[in-house]
């Protein structure tokens, strides 16, 4: 199943758009990618307006790609899934982990952890509307609901209601009051053991762990305990950490790019196409600023790009020219 490989990159708002995903395919062709969360209501309204491509279109190279949906109405989620399936996604994921004010006001995201029957009904409705593999991304707890029994019962009820067996567990609980979404990514302590225990109790479930994993050695250790690893901010901040994962974890014959420079130069034609359509280069380049993280002169390279994007009339050969700062 395309959506159940050993490694994936987490859905991240304002990060994992189609430009970032195209860029990551120059570094890894096998890692499972996720869209940003798309609210079911947005898809339904967009469908009526006739501009679905704005939210759902992607390049075939981005596959395997999972669409992450947000919402809490079974009917709306089912219709959004039905509409989205024609775009060619490899799977559908429901967001039950986001703690932002936006999702709290809409009563979805991590708020749904206290309503497992509703989550199960949502997933059941989606399963009847779409033939795609389904999964749920959630936390290990929320507010004062922070123990193993709560998480176990949540997963058990969702499964009983829907049959879903694929769960991505961010190994932190969420605090809905007092912490920002960014703080919720770091301040609640990691509890990997709770995820491991879930896998032990539900061996038939596909359990993917998320949170605080940044290095290849950590991936290898986690795969000894769970089925898969999902990496979030580290993938965005330092994308080159994925440069060898295709051969190391997916048994591929080779990796897409032998060097950071190769990955960068491979994006020039994409940038040319993007700017020819009237888009600003920043729409793409902002996602690429971490490619030389940790390398000498990386700061000069970023400064060069930032300056050139402001001053150039043409962005032809932009990436080739930027490499001169390393000479």
- Let me know if 98 is a catalytic residue: yes
Contact 132, 89 (CB under 8 A): yes
Contacts of 162 (CB under 8 A, 6+ apart): 119, 120, 121, 122, 123, 124, 127, 134
* pLDDT tens per residue, range 13-68: 999 999 999 999 999 999 999 999 999 999 999 999 999 999 999 999 999 999 99
Q: What is the dihedral of CA 67, 287, 293, 171, to 10 degrees?
A: -30
pLDDT at position 176: 81
Alpha-carbon 286 to chain mean position: 17
pLDDT at position 106: 62
pLDDT at position 104: 61
Q: What is the mean pLDDT of the chain?
A: 95
**Residue showing tokens 């749904």:** 112
Answer yes or no: same fold for 7-249 and 260-326.
no
Burial class (CB in 10 A: 0-12, 13-18, 19+), 296: exposed
Contact 173, 203 (CB under 8 A): no
Pick from 203, 118, 204: nearest CA to 157: 118
Q: Considering only 110-119, 179-188, 223-232, 280-289, which range has the smallest mean pLDDT?
A: 179-188
Pick from 112, 115, 145, 141: nearest CA to 40: 112
* pLDDT tens per residue, range 96-129: 988 876 666 567 788 899 999 999 999 999 999 9
The catalytic residue among 15, 98, 111, 122 is 98
pLDDT at position 254: 97
Three-class SS of 27-69? CCCCCEEEEEEEEHHHHHHHHHHCCCHHHHCCCHHHCCEEEEE
pLDDT at position 124: 98
Give the SS3 label for residue 326. Answer: helix
For residue 183, name the pLDDT band (cuts at 50, 70, 90).
confident
The pair of structure tokens assigned to 63 is 């596959």
Nearest-angstrom CA–CA distance, 140 and 195: 8
pLDDT at position 175: 86
Q: What angle do CA 299, 300, 303 make, to 5 degrees?
A: 90
Contacts of 61 (CB under 8 A, 6+ apart): 22, 25, 29
Domain range list for the chain = 7-249, 260-326
Nearest-angstrom CA–CA distance, 118 and 112: 8
Provide the 8-state DSSP code for 211: S
Choices 3.20.20.70, 3.40.50.2300, 3.40.30.10, 3.20.20.210: CATH for 7-249: 3.20.20.70
Q: Is the CATH code 3.90.1010 the one for domain 260-326?
A: no
**Residue showing tokens 């050139």:** 308
């Amino acid at each position: 199943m395309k959506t159940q490989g050993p490694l994936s990159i987490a859905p991240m708002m304002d990060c994992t758009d189609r430009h970032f995903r195209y860029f990551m395919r120059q570094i890894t062709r096998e890692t499972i990618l996720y869209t940003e969360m798309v609210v079911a209501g947005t898809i339904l309204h967009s469908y009526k307006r006739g501009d679905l491509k704005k939210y759902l279109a992607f390049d075939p190279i981005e596959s395997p790609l999972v669409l992450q949906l947000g919402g809490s109405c079974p009917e709306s989620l089912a219709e959004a899934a039905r509409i989205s399936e024609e775009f060619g996604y490899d799977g559908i994921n429901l967001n039950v982990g986001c703690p932002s004010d936006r999702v709290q006001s809409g009563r979805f995201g991590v708020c749904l952890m206290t309503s497992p029957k509703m989550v199960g009904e949502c997933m059941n409705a989606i399963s009847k509307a779409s033939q795609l593999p389904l999964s749920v991304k959630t936390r290990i707890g929320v507010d004062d609901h922070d123990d193993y029994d709560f998480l176990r019962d949540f997963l058990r009820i969702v499964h009983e209601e829907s049959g879903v067996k694929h769960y991505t567990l961010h190994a932190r609980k969420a605090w809905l009051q007092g912490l920002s979404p960014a703080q919720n990514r770091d301040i609640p302590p990691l509890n990997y053991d709770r995820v491991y225990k879930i896998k032990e109790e539900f061996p038939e479930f596909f359990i993917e762990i998320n949170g605080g994993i940044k290095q290849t050695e950590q991936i290898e250790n986690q795969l000894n305990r769970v089925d898969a690893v999902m990496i979030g901010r580290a993938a965005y901040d330092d994308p080159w950490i994925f440069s060898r994962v295709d051969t190391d974890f997916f048994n591929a014959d080779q990796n897409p790019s032998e060097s950071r420079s190769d990955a960068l130069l491979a994006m020039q034609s994409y940038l040319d196409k993007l700017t020819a359509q009237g888009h600003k280069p920043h729409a793409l380049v902002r996602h690429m600023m971490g490619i030389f993280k940790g390398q000498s002169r990386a700061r000069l390279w970023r400064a060069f790009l930032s300056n050139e994007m402001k001053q150039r009339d043409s962005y032809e050969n932009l990436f080739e020219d930027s490499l001169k700062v390393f000479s």
